Amino acid sequence: MTGATRVLVLNSGSSSVKYQLLDMRDEARLAVGLVERIGERTARLTHTPADGRRRERELPVPDHGAALRLAAEELAADGRGLDSPELAVVGHRVVHGGQSFTEPTLVDDAVLAEIERLVPLAPLHNPANLAGIRTARALNPDVPQVAVFDTAFHTTMPEHAARYAIDVATADRHRIRRYGFHGTSHAYVSRRAAALLGRDPSEVNVIVLHLGNGASASAVAGGRCVDTSMGLTPLEGLVMGTRSGDLDPAVVFHLARVAGMPVDEIDALLNKRSGLLGLCGDNDMREIARRMAAGDPAARLAFDVYAYRLRKYLGAYVAVLGRVDAVAFTAGVGENSTEVRAAAVAGLSGLGIEIDERLNSAAAKGPRLISPEYARVAVAVVPTDEELEIATQAFALARPR
Ligand code: AMP
């Protein structure tokens, strides 16, 4: 590989910016950093260069632009600033690409305007992503910027999976449909699961369970997403750390009419105070497992509701795909929780889905199979790496420079 080989990946959340600098010759991380609590009285920056010597600072950081300038300063202090000739491209995670963006896209003014037009669909995230892109562009106008959309992988969903059964004119006017999220992770993990089976992604059908603090499932047929559990927003689907996942939409009317809650409060209730946290007061699966082992009934109920929803989606996606070659667990809970993996597939041996207890509880890292050899469906743990996937996609677009 000749020429510039470094990629800066930026992931701007509602109040944080995560960044990684990768060298695509060997996919090495040259720096990993995080600016959190943006907009609060004091924000915190953590920057770890390749030598592992972590630097931390606490200081006021008013907005995402300031956060990125700070990250750029830290990178420059390592001799790897945004003006380095080694920097090939900046890859930005953009949460919502609507129906407009079906693949990673080189950013120009028209692309920025379209991401802006999609702000009503992701009011907390797209503005943060836009600020990141604009600041990175201002810091070095010569480096290409690539937007990698969380929704893009799901744009292959057929219309019957993407549509809600509501009035079509109303839905279209307000762009209401199922978009799905975590697409970068679902794309990466489904491909890695195929590789683990020694097969081409186009030959296999995979169910991916991305179980982090946010959680989503997807059904991937021959490398293309055909359904996913998140919808217009990341609230639909599985039970998550703090989100309810699926519920009767009339619960919202009930909370408004009977409980007298304003819409913003209902939004906060369902997104921030529901899910595992709402059921038992904790959203960290490690703590829930510990409490459950100590006989705590609220933790047990939270775990059971979580696992039951997962099993329902697994069953549903078996029906969607017809034939399943692999089920892949990923993200914080999926990669680490032996208990959740066991409970998610409990009783599904009739569908060919089962795990080997010894393999499931073995302390291991990296992609691995946890199903018995005779099982019809391979069950796998596949660590996700969204930053690497964003870097790979951005680098592929920027290479001809
Ligand atoms: P993520 O959003 O992918 O970073 O996942 C974060 C979540 O993963 C945390 O809220 C924990 O619930 C869960 N998690 C992380 N490590 C473990 C572990 N060792 N065992 C169980 N759950 C874990």
Note whether residue 117 is domain-resident: yes
Q: What is the pLDDT of residue 344?
A: 98
Which atom of ligand 1 lies at the shortest distance from residue 210's CA? Answer: 3
Catalytic residue among 63, 78, 150, 227, which?
150
150 is catalytic: yes
Ligand 1 mean position, distance from CA 126 (Å): 25
Which atom of ligand 1 lies at the shortest distance from residue 214's CA? Answer: 2
Domain shared by 360 and 232, yes or no: yes
Domain shared by 273 and 338, yes or no: yes
Query: Looking at residue 328, which CATH number applies to its domain?
Result: 3.30.420.40
Contact 257, 263 (CB under 8 A): no
Q: Does ligand 1 come within 6 angstroms of the Cβ of 14?
A: no
- First and final C-alpha spacing in the chain: 13
Note whether residue 306 is domain-resident: yes
Query: Ligand 1: which of 181, 283, 286, 330 to mutate, judged by most atoms within 8 Å of the beta carbon?
Result: 286
Domain end residue (candidates: 87, 116, 149): 149
Q: Does ligand 1 come within 6 angstroms of the Cβ of 11?
A: no
Q: What is the pLDDT of residue 15?
A: 87
Q: What is the pLDDT of residue 300?
A: 98
Which atom of ligand 1 lies at the shortest distance from residue 331's CA? Answer: 3
Domain shared by 47 and 140, yes or no: yes
Note whether residue 158 is domain-resident: no
> Could you tell me the CA-to-CA distances from 213 to 56, 153, 189, 232, 308 in Å, in that order?
25, 20, 17, 18, 17
Domain shared by 248 and 381, yes or no: yes
User: Is 350 a known ligand-binding residue?
Assistant: no
Q: What is the pLDDT of residue 400?
A: 58
Domain end residue (candidates: 108, 133, 149): 149
Domain shared by 226 and 368, yes or no: yes
Domain shared by 80 and 228, yes or no: no
- Alpha helices, DSSP H only, in 84-158? 109-117, 125-139
Q: How far out from the chain centre does Cα 313 lie?
A: 18
Adjacency order of strands within the sheet including 43-49: 55-59, 43-49, 28-36, 16-23, 6-12, 87-94, 145-149, 105-106
Which atom of ligand 1 lies at the shortest distance from residue 285's CA? Answer: 12
Domain shared by 203 and 343, yes or no: yes
Model pTM?
Answer: 0.95
Ligand 1 mean position, distance from CA 308 (Å): 19
Q: The tokens 């291991």 sit on which residue?
A: 364
Q: Which helix (H) or strand (E) holds 381?
A: strand 378-381
Domain shared by 207 and 65, yes or no: no
Q: Name the closest-CA residue to atom 19, ligand 1.
A: 336
Note whether residue 366 is domain-resident: yes
User: Is 154 a known ligand-binding residue?
Assistant: no
Domain end residue (candidates: 113, 132, 149): 149
The pLDDT profile of the chain, 401 residues, written as one tens digit per residue, is 668 999 999 998 888 999 999 999 999 999 999 999 999 999 999 999 999 999 999 999 999 999 999 999 999 999 998 999 999 999 999 999 999 999 999 999 999 999 999 999 998 889 999 999 999 999 999 999 999 999 999 999 999 999 999 999 999 999 999 999 999 999 999 999 999 999 999 999 999 999 999 999 999 999 999 999 999 999 999 999 999 999 999 999 999 999 999 999 999 999 999 999 999 999 999 999 999 999 999 999 999 999 999 999 999 999 999 999 999 999 999 999 999 999 999 999 999 999 999 999 999 889 999 999 999 999 999 999 999 999 999 999 987 54
Q: Does ligand 1 come within 6 angstroms of the Cβ of 284?
A: yes
Note whether residue 173 is domain-resident: no
User: Is 366 a known ligand-binding residue?
Assistant: no
Q: What 3-state DSSP class applies to 106?
A: strand
Contact 394, 91 (CB under 8 A): yes
Domain shared by 224 and 369, yes or no: yes
Q: How many domains does the chain have?
A: 2
Q: Does ligand 1 come within 6 angstroms of the Cβ of 225?
A: no
User: Is 214 a known ligand-binding residue?
Assistant: yes
Q: Which range of residues forms the domain containing residue 103?
A: 6-149
Q: Which tokens hold the place of 115?
A: 């991401």
Q: Does ligand 1 come within 6 angstroms of the Cβ of 331?
A: yes
Domain shared by 89 and 14, yes or no: yes
Q: How many Cβ atoms are within 10 Å of 240's Cβ, its own excluded? A: 26
Q: What is the pLDDT of residue 14?
A: 80
